[in-house]
Amino acid sequence: MSEQAEQAVETPELDRYECRSCGYVYEPEKGDDKQDIPSGTLFAELPADWRCPVCTAKKVAFANIGPAGTASGFKENLGYGLGVNQLTPTQKNILIFGALALGFLFFISLYGLQ
Ligand SMILES: [Zn+2]
């Protein structure tokens, strides 16, 4: 948590803005190719007549959603966490088959003891 706070203090000008109409996110690092906005342009520096490239909403329709580092990094961490628990169908079959085989062996061993 402390790292994110420090990052926000270091780069407050790189806040991203999300279009509340369509969900488009303006990222200062990328700019806006379609409207000749060079990368590194802050949202506040965009021309007053700049419109959302997706739905042409005005700048006032955008909401500050914070710098890119925090949200995207959090999503990546989530992906790593889920990736460990996500099994492919093949892996699931191996697990199921393995459990059945173990159960069968256990069943046979019980007979062996009697
Ligand atoms: Zn939009």
- Identify the pLDDT of residue 92: 86
Q: At what angle do helices 68-85 and 2-10 cross, to 10 degrees?
A: 150
Q: How far is the CA of 58 from the centre of ligand 1 (A)?
A: 8
In the chain, where the domains are located:
14-68, 71-114
The mean predicted confidence, pLDDT, of the chain is 81
pTM over 0.75: no
Asked whether the beta carbons of 25 and 17 are under 8 A apart, the reply is yes
Asked whether the beta carbons of 52 and 22 are under 8 A apart, the reply is yes
pLDDT by residue (tens digit) across 15-68?
999 999 999 999 999 999 999 999 999 999 999 999 999 999 999 999 999 987
Q: How far is the CA of 32 from the centre of ligand 1 (A)?
A: 13
Query: Given a cut of 80, is residue 107 above it in pLDDT?
Result: yes
CATH code for the structural domain at 14-68: 2.20.28.10
Protein residues within 5 Å, CB atom, of ion ligand 1: 19, 21-22, 24, 52, 54-55, 57
